Structure formats: structure tokens, C-alpha cells
Amino acid sequence: MPEVLDPVDVVCVGVGWTGGIIGKELAQDGKQVVGIERGGERGPEDYLTMHNELRYALRYEMMQDLSKGTLTFRNEPNQKALPMRQLGSFLPGKGVGGAGVHWNGQTWRFLPYDFEIRSRTLDRYGPEKIPEDMQLQDWGITYDELRPYYREFEEMTGISGAAGNLNGTIQEEGNPFEGPRNEYPTQPMITSPVLGRFMEASASVGLHPFMAPSANLSEAYTNSDGVARGPCQYCGYCERFGCEWGAKADPTVTVLPSAQETGNFELRTQCDARRLVYDEQEGRVTGVKYVDTVDNTVYIQPAEVVALTAYGLWNVKLLLLSDIGEPYDPETGEGVVGKNYCYQNFGGGAAGYFDDEEWNLYMGAGALGAAVDDWNGDNFDHTDLDFLHGGNIAISQTGKRPIANNESPPNIEKEWGAEFKRASVKYHNSTASISAQGAVLPHRTNYLDLDPTYTDEWGDPLLRMTFNWTEQDRKLAEFEGQRCAEIIEAMGPTKMGVGTEVVGEGGNYDIRPYQSTHNTGGAVMGSDPNQSVVNSYLQCWDAENLFVPGASAFAHNSGYNPTGTVGALAYRAADGIKQYFKRPGMLG
């Protein structure tokens, strides 16, 4: 029998960005908050000797241990799903701070278009523009409504950048396509020579380049919680590593110390949540059942409010295991939990090989980049195109490490042997690569449910992912690849390679090569309970005291990194929880 603990006000299931933000906000509001985290504690002092590509970037020291649980995967519903036995395509984190510790720090706002994508597509192009199986939905919230929450996240983390649309006035140095915003808390990152070359080239072909927004911190910054962090050192070890300087915003150097300072936030590590305790009659969750994995004791932690703040995929798994909400059925289109799983399409890209250049590509920062947004969202006319949306095209100088990066110009016969060695050595510091971060729009047969065969360490079913690229994705990759090629060509390379096909063997999504840890959807937000799992406050339609923020709430995935929007939605949920304590019931 599980031991039932004394009730608290709020339980956060998972302590990464979303759990950290909600934990801090509610603890500062005087609520008693418990954070349940299956990994261990960590902080900047643990990252001092982390400049080690093999151990951290390739043996995945900071990532989830799949031996305890994974997911199964197939491309199509008529295929047998098989376990993702080793990590590859995406890298969920483990430990306090979650993937928010090993991320790059590329922090974007989605476009106003994104939140109203269905309405705006119908308005501009008419109903024929949306293919039958594309389950395009509005998010139940507008950019203007989300804007103050974006600002809270950016000011807490100290995002570096230059506004391009300053409260409606277009600014030369920023992104002219973004929604209206205030100034960034800190100035843009330093423009390295290769980034400058990209910006000159893209301007020369009529595009609008700007320095990408960054959570790496361009200058010293103290946020309103009194958290002081120093500037980025451009050491080249961000993605898949922790930042020993504390310059890169992560939950362990921002929201978590602020939460713990209140005395109202209790962090329970090595504790694995197994169920939300759900009272379907009452439409409420009463608490969380979890295992302390150190001694295998099972507890139930009752709470007034539960915030499901795990990685997006595991949010969906816990909802399904707890029988909350109707599971999505791709045959009938009925049900909501597991619907609209989306990803990121990096099929369009180009690389230039420069015989007369050598850049300091070993230096860098996770969010040191320059970008153009001319071919993203609905920033260009799609009337004569056979796809929707687009992608942010960027060059990133994240610190080029030697094992994972082996350049092979297009004329190389094979990926090993003398010729390969010569090319990969010669061009290691002489290659400029850019890619479009393609949006992925929802499709009827791309979804999440529970696997009928495989189980995790507790004997629970694994999550099953059914996902493949669609015609939309293939056309988008082709278009974006051509746009990338135009920019690279303007950079004046000796030779160039162009990618115009989606990533994966046979043109199908492939679980092996790393693409991005941008798994979205499955518990999407919206204004209609028949179309969504949560409302615009991330409050669950089937359990009024359950809030489910995270990328699982994305109704589709845009052409940007997701964390800025994840952070904004977490602040929105925290606001919703505060309101709920004052006036219980469905918000809105």
C-alpha cells in the first residue's frame, strides 16, 4: 500500500523549465509546492570538467537512461512499433533542470500567425489550401495574449537580442517579421566573422538578417528575483553540456534557487511519478503516486493542484496511464490525448566549402547565430506553393567538435578512407552550414498512444510514437533547401552542397540520426474540449485542478526552437494556477 503524505498546495511532476517556473511562481505566491523529479540534483560546479565530447555529447551522460524506459516507434499505423533502444533523433534530459540544462539556449517567440494558423490560412487562402489529413488548429490563445508571458520568461532568463518590431515600429537591426515586442533584456551576442559573412550574403540577396536571440547571456545580468549571472565565454560547449559559468540560462541557475529561497518549495529527487490520481466523477486529480527509487517506497502526495511538468512526451504518457481525457483515435479522428504529435523538419539546408577561409569554428555558443525569417511562417505568399508555413533559416556557431562533425563535400565517393579523411580534415574549419528549421504541421496519422507490447521498468506500457514525414514536409524541405542554397552561393564558396530532402532512410522519418529535441503536441491547447486537452491556461478540460504546460500543448510546431514558447506557456499556466486558487473552476 502506498503511504499517503500530508497534502500540499501544488505538486509539480518533473523539475525542468516548466516545473521550475511554476514552482517558483507559486512558492513566491505563498503556496506550498513539492517538485517531484526522477533524476538527481546538479549545478554549475558539476560542469567544470565537462569539456569532453565523447562522454557528454556522444555517450549522453546528461540524457535519459533508456534501460529504465523508452518509447516505441513506427512510421505508419500498419507497421509494428519497436523500441527506441538507443538515443538518436532526440535527447530528453535527466536530472534536475531536465533538458533545460543541456540545451543550446536558442530562444524564440513564435509568430502571431502560429497561434491562429487555421483561421489565418482560411482567410488568406481559402479552405482548399488545407489538405484533408492536416489537422490544423488555432491554439485558443493569440500572440497578444501570450506576449506578457514571453516577456516574463525572457526577463527571468535575460535573453540577448535586438528587437525587430519594437511595439509596432520596425527596427533595422532586428527581425522585422516578429510580433510586436519590448526591448530584449540584454544586447545581442558578439557577431563572429562567419556570422557576419552570412548576414552580408543574405542581405545581398534581399533578405533581412539579424542576430538570433540567445539565452547564453551576452553581458552580465541580474533578474528581478535577484539572480546574478555572468556573460557567456563562447567556450563552445553548450549543447549536450551544462554551463560551468552559469551564463547559459538553465533552471538550476535561475528559477530553482529563487523557488527554494522562499522556503515554500520542496524538491524531491530520485522520485519517479507513476500516476496522477484521478477522480473522473469529480473531474479532479487528487494527487500524484510516485516511487522513491532509492528505497522503492511508493507514496501518494495529495495536492490542491497538480502541474504536469515532465518532458512533453512523458506528459502525454502520464495522461494516458492515468486515464485522463479521451485517447486519440486516428481512424475516427475522435479523442484528443496523443493527437497532433509534431516535430522539426531540418531537411532543407546548404553547406559552402571555402578553400580560402579558415574560421575559429571550435569557439562558439549554443545560441550564437544569425538568422533570416523571410521564409518562415506566412511571411511569404504561399498562393502558388503546395505547402504551408516555412522555417527560420540560420547559421549557428555552437562550437564545432571533431567526432560528430566530419565534412564531406558532395564529390566525395564514400564516407571513409583516404579521400574522406582529407576532405573532413581540410574543411573542418572552412565550412559554413545553414539550415531551415522547418515547421511541422499536424497530420491524422502522426500521433502518440500506449504500446501494446513493450513496458518500462515498472511494467507500464511504453509510449508509442507513430510519425512520418508527409507531402507537406517534403515540399517544405525542397523549397527551404533552395532558399538556403541562394544564401550560401552569395557567401562565395569554392563548392557547395544542398539538401532538399527530409531527413531519413528512404525519405521516411528516421529515429537514428540526431535531428532535434523538439517533440511537440499530444496534449494540445485550444478553445474546444473536443479538439484539445487543455485550455488557454493549460488547464485540463477533464480535470480542472490539473495544468499541463510544456511543448505537449503545441497544436503544431513552428519554424523555431520551442523553449521560448514553452517558457511563456509555463508562466501562463502559473498565472492560471494563481487564479484557480482564488476562484476554483474552469478558467477563461
Partner 1 sequence: MPEEQPETRFDFTRRSFLGRSGLAGGVVLSGHAADVARGEVQQDTPNGDTGVDEDALVQLDIDQARLVQAMAERIYPSDELGPGAAELGVVYFIDRQLAGLSNGWGEGANWYMEPPFVNQFEGATLNQGWQSNLVPQEAYEFALGWIEEYASNEFGGSFIDLSTEQQDELLTALENDDPDNFRSVKPSEFFTLFRTNVLEGVYCDPTYGGNRNMAGWRMKRFPGSPGALGSYRELIGREGFIRIPPRSVEDDVESTGIETGSSSSNSANSSESATHSHGHSHGPRYELEGEQKDEAQGDSEEDTDA
Catalytic residues, by residue number, are 518
In angstroms, the CA 207 to CA 231 distance is 30
Residue list 527-566, contact with partner 1 (CB under 8 A): none
Residue list 277-336, contact with partner 1 (CB under 8 A): none
Interface pick for partner 1 out of 359, 447, 541, 560 (rule CB under 8 A): 359
CB of 581 to partner 1, least distance (A): 26
In angstroms, the CA 120 to CA 126 distance is 9
501 interacts with partner 1 by CB under 8 A? no
Residue number with CB closer to partner 1 (390 or 493): 493
In angstroms, the CA 250 to CA 104 distance is 10
* Distance (Å) of CA 210 to CA 189, 216, 375, 424, 430: 11, 17, 14, 30, 22
| CA-CA-CA-CA torsion sign (354, 357, 360, 366) | negative
Grid look-up 481525457 returns 325
227 interacts with partner 1 by CB under 8 A? yes
Residue number with CB closer to partner 1 (417 or 584): 417
Interface pick for partner 1 out of 402, 584, 585, 588 (rule CB under 8 A): 402
412 interacts with partner 1 by CB under 8 A? no
Residue number with CB closer to partner 1 (100 or 140): 100
344 touches 557 (CB < 8 A):
yes
In angstroms, the CA 214 to CA 208 distance is 18
Residue number with CB closer to partner 1 (79 or 119): 79
Interface pick for partner 1 out of 143, 149, 237, 354 (rule CB under 8 A): 237
23 touches 310 (CB < 8 A):
no
Per the document, the length of the chain is 588
173 interacts with partner 1 by CB under 8 A? no
310 touches 15 (CB < 8 A):
no
CB of 564 to partner 1, least distance (A): 18
Contact window for partner 1 (CB under 8 A) among 251-259, 299-307, 431-439, 525-533? 251-259
In angstroms, the CA 474 to CA 347 distance is 8
Nearest to residue 585, comparing CAs of 322, 282, 177?
Answer: 282
In angstroms, the CA 368 to CA 188 distance is 9
Contact window for partner 1 (CB under 8 A) among 272-280, 381-389, 415-423, 553-561? 415-423
171 interacts with partner 1 by CB under 8 A? no
CB of 56 to partner 1, least distance (A): 9
CB of 454 to partner 1, least distance (A): 6
In angstroms, the CA 425 to CA 254 distance is 40
Contact window for partner 1 (CB under 8 A) among 237-245, 281-289, 528-536, 540-548? 237-245
φ, ψ (nearest 5 deg) of residue 579: -65, -40
CB of 325 to partner 1, least distance (A): 27
Residues 6+ apart with CB under 8 A from 483: 348, 375, 393, 436
- Site pattern 24..53 for partner 1 (x: CB under 8 A): --------------------xxxxxxxxxx
| 3-state SS track over 454-501 | EECCCCCEEEEEECCCCHHHHHHHHHHHHHHHHHHHHCCCCEEEEEEC
Task: Catalogue the long-range contacts made by 531-535 (C-beta closer than 8 Å, 24 or more residues apart).
Answer: 531/137, 531/336, 532/137, 532/140, 532/336, 533/319, 533/325, 533/336, 533/337, 535/140, 535/586, 535/587, 535/588
Nearest to residue 95, comparing CAs of 236, 248, 267?
Answer: 267
454 interacts with partner 1 by CB under 8 A? yes
Interface pick for partner 1 out of 229, 389, 443, 518 (rule CB under 8 A): 229
Residue list 110-129, contact with partner 1 (CB under 8 A): none
Interface pick for partner 1 out of 205, 228, 298, 586 (rule CB under 8 A): 228
Residue number with CB closer to partner 1 (429 or 579): 429
Contact window for partner 1 (CB under 8 A) among 114-122, 181-189, 294-302, 309-317? 181-189
Residue list 130-159, contact with partner 1 (CB under 8 A): 155
CB of 390 to partner 1, least distance (A): 25
Residue list 511-530, contact with partner 1 (CB under 8 A): 511-512
Interface pick for partner 1 out of 148, 417, 584, 585 (rule CB under 8 A): 417
Number of shown-chain residues binding partner 1 (CB under 8 A) = 98
